[in-house]
């Protein structure tokens, strides 16, 4: 679809991340001596909103933080990244969302998230931000906020004539109400295997198999397969593969969010799905090969 002013609305999570670096991720009961750590403003929603803004479209964030240092940092970071943060509310009685990510020497990581204030999102937040849904555009959702909240946001965007992109991460069962409102699903290899039971995603062929299975339920499915590349399948029978851009890996953290944010920005501009996926794939390659300290 094409709009006079390309717009991406991100409804979802904001987390204050603590990034820890070591030679390996600890096994059960093991203590590993790390080399460094630093904080980073994240959450899949916040990352995707910032990625869309960097890609040059109008980006709006609807989310929730607490009245604490983490929450204030998250709101400020959105503003610094040219994301409209007017509809990020502050809630009482709970902490802001946060996570701890532990990286190994190869740049891969595991993480634990604490949702906190993100679980406070719901219909009232959609209603408060109705102006950013007007005229349509692209709505981006993730699975780090309640399903009912995602349904409310998706309905608002569909009623406005826009499209809904769901980054179904972390993987969880999707309600029929939400599934019926989604236009594009984006998942990584692990999430694809969990949602498309019976698929093994250890190659591009496996990613395409999972995408094809999921396309029986969703109009467009994109499966990112890390260093292998990306597979896409649509309900109308279109399917294609895009190989990974070969880069020197620094860190995989945030690659999926960069991919999703840029994909949404390209769709907001009216790009066809193949061109949008290609742009997103290239942007993610740049991110994983770039050393970041914030």
Say what the pTM is.
Answer: 0.92
Q: How far apart are the first and last CA of the chain?
A: 34
- Per-residue pLDDT tens digits for 57-97: 999 999 999 999 999 999 999 999 999 999 999 999 999 99
Is the pLDDT reported for residue 112 higher than 80?
A: yes
CB of 224 closer than 8 Å to CB of 245 = no
Q: Which two tokens stand for residue 90?
A: 């502050």
Section 138-155 average pLDDT: 97
Is the pLDDT reported for residue 13 higher than 90?
A: yes
State residue 292's pLDDT score.
61
Is the pLDDT reported for residue 4 higher than 70?
A: no
Degrees to nearest 5, angle at CA 120 with 115 and 126: 125
Task: Out of 104-113, 161-170, 243-252, pick the least confident.
Answer: 243-252
State residue 156's pLDDT score.
98
C-alpha 120 chain-centroid distance = 19
State residue 291's pLDDT score.
67
Distance CA 35, CA 52 (A): 32
Supply φ then ψ for residue 266, to 5 degrees.
-65, -40
State residue 254's pLDDT score.
73
Distance CA 170, CA 13 (A): 12
Domains within the chain, CATH numbers bracketed: 7-14+42-93+122-182+245-288 (3.40.1190.20)
- pLDDT top residue among 108 and 39: 39
Q: Considering 84, 125, 183, 257, which one is annotated as catalytic?
A: 257
Section 49-62 average pLDDT: 97
Is the pLDDT reported for residue 212 higher than 80?
A: yes
- Per-residue pLDDT tens digits for 230-249: 999 999 999 999 998 877 66
Is the pLDDT reported for residue 290 higher than 80?
A: no
Is the pLDDT reported for residue 294 higher than 90?
A: no
Confidence of residue 271 (pLDDT cuts 50, 70, 90): very high
Confidence of residue 199 (pLDDT cuts 50, 70, 90): confident
Q: What is the DSSP string of 142-170?
A: ESSS-HHHHHHHHHHHHHTT-EEEEE--S
- pLDDT top residue among 199 and 99: 99
Give the dihedral sign, CA 102/285/266/201: negative
Distance CA 276, CA 89 (A): 31
Q: Is 257 an active-site residue? A: yes
- pLDDT top residue among 232 and 173: 232
């Amino acid at each position: 679809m094409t709009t006079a002013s390309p717009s991406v609305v991100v409804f979802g999570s904001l987390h204050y991340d603590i990034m820890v670096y070591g030679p390996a991720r600890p096994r059960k009961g093991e203590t590993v001596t790390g080399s460094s750590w630093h904080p980073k403003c994240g959450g899949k929603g916040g990352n995707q909103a910032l990625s869309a803004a960097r890609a040059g479209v109008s980006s709006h964030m609807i989310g929730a933080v607490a009245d604490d240092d983490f929450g204030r940092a998250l709101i400020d970071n959105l503003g610094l990244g040219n994301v409209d943060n007017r509809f990020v509310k502050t809630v009482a009685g709970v902490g802001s969302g946060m996570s701890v990510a532990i990286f190994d020497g190869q740049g891969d990581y595991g993480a634990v998230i604490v949702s906190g204030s993100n679980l406070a999102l719901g219909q009232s937040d959609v209603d408060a931000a109705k102006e950013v849904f007007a005229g349509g555009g692209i709505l981006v959702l993730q699975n780090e906020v309640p399903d009912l909240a995602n349904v409310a946001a998706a309905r608002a965007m569909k009623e406005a004539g826009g499209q809904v992109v769901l980054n179904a991460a972390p993987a969880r069962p999707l309600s029929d109400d939400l599934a019926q409102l989604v236009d594009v699903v984006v998942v990584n290899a692990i999430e694809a295997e969990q949602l498309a039971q019976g698929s093994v995603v250890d190659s591009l062929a496996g990613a395409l198999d999972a995408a094809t299975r999921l396309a029986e339920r969703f109009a467009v499915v994109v499966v990112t397969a890390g260093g292998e590349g990306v597979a896409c399948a649509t309900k109308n029978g279109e399917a294609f593969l895009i190989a990974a851009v070969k880069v020197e890996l620094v860190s995989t953290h945030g690659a999926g969010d960069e991919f999703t944010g840029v994909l949404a920005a390209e769709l907001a501009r009216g790009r066809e799905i193949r061109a949008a996926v290609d742009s997103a794939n290239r942007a993610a390659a740049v991110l994983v090969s770039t050393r970041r300290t914030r």
